[in-house]
Structure 1
Amino acid sequence: MKLLVVSDSHGSKSEIKELAEKYDGEVNAMIHCGDSELSADDAALTPYLAVRGNCDMDARLPEDLIEEVDGETILVTHGHLYGIKMSLMKLRYKAEESGAKFVFFGHSHTLGAEIAGGTLFLNPGSILLPRGRQERTYALVDASDHSIKVQFLTHEHELVEEQEFSE
């Protein structure tokens, strides 16, 4: 399973359009973790499984999405309703409750990935307004039966960081 994960584009359509064009046909799903500041039916957001962030006004965007992609359960949320800037504990409970093996969120604009309880928790950073670093980032996830590879890339598609987890 291959996934493109992006978050916190804050009204900028060009980055998410360009990513959708670049990865069309290359990934099983494209995920936007909120704060797009776009309407649910905006063409730039259409290719993405997208959720509502604290800066999104369109109530048609769901707060959480639980989807099955290539046989794996994924949970997508923005993170503000789970206090992710303090702890991932509430989000871990939601992941357990939903049976998610992959959890994608944004809100803090800070990239990171970790495995907890057999579940990948990933924040792709921000494609527009990063915190803690200069690079505007997104993530690619490549998961097989026995490993998960996460690549964080800049908006110019240069590798920033790579992590690999074995199961």
Structure 2
Amino acid sequence: MKILIVSDTHGRDENLEKAVYREEPFDYLIHCGDVEGREIFIEALVDCPCCIVSGNNDFFSDLPREEIIDLAGKKILVTHGHTYGVSGGTDGIVEAARARGCEAVLFGHTHYPEIEMQEGILVINPGSLTFPRQRGRKFSYAVMEAEEGKNLQAEIRYL
């Protein structure tokens, strides 16, 4: 199954739409927070199930702060990351994923794209489609493949 992972769109949809149209078809969309009131638009934009969590800029939101989802038999923690101090490192968020029996953790907040394996946990930050902060400041997202009986595979993609 193909999963599109985005984060930190901050209420601006143009690049999100570009990523969606570029990657269609996919089976699941995950937004790691800071949608700023655009969750209904995002759910209407795609023709698949969505997981959308709240970020530090999602004031007065009813979105969950984090979710554990199961995709192709893999438990995945989805959160924005700010409550785990991800700006200072991923140790806390990796420990949270491990404590919940997850194989992967997906988060945003830093606007820096990254994929790494840390202590047996796949750590994915898709970066930002609106305000990238990494060198070169390219708009980014991630695509993950999940299949029963196989390891999760993911890559960062740029607009």
| Alignment TM-score, normalising by the size of structure 1 | 0.82
Distance 1:137 1:119 in 2: 21
**Does the CA contact (< 8 Å) of 1:39 and 1:58 recur in 2?**
no
Q: Which structure features the higher share of strand residues?
A: 1
Deviation at 1:87, TM superposition (A): 1.9
CA change 1:59–1:83 in 2 (3 A) is same
Gaps of 5+ in 2: none
- The 5 Å alignment of 1:91-110 reads 91-110=93-112
The one-letter code of the counterpart of 1:12 is R
The one-letter code of the counterpart of 1:43 is F
Distance 1:126 1:106 in 2: 8
What secondary structure, in the 3-state scheme, does the structure 2 residue paired with 1:5 have? Answer: strand
CA change 1:93–1:111 in 2 (3 A) is same
CA change 1:66–1:147 in 2 (3 A) is closer
CA change 1:84–1:132 in 2 (3 A) is same
Q: C-alpha offsets along residues 61-113 of structure 1, whole Å, 9 cap, x if unaligned?
A: 11001011111111110010000011212111210121111110000000111
**Does the CA contact (< 8 Å) of 2:127 and 2:139 recur in 1?**
yes
Partner of 2:82: 80
**Does the CA contact (< 8 Å) of 1:5 and 1:30 recur in 2?**
yes
Distance 1:72 1:60 in 2: 26
**Corresponding position: 1:11 with 2:11:** yes
- The 5 Å alignment of 1:14-163 reads 14-24=14-24, 26-40=25-39, 42-46=40-44, 47=46, 48-133=50-135, 134-144=137-147, 145-155=149-159
What secondary structure, in the 3-state scheme, does the structure 2 residue paired with 1:131 have? Answer: coil
Deviation at 1:43, TM superposition (A): 2.2
**Does the CA contact (< 8 Å) of 2:139 and 2:158 recur in 1?**
yes
Q: How many residues align?
A: 153
**Does the CA contact (< 8 Å) of 1:38 and 1:58 recur in 2?**
no
Distance 1:44 1:146 in 2: 29
Between 1 and 2, higher relative CO (CA 8 Å, sep ≥ 6) is seen in 2
| Backbone CA RMSD of aligned residues | 1.9
The one-letter code of the counterpart of 1:126 is S
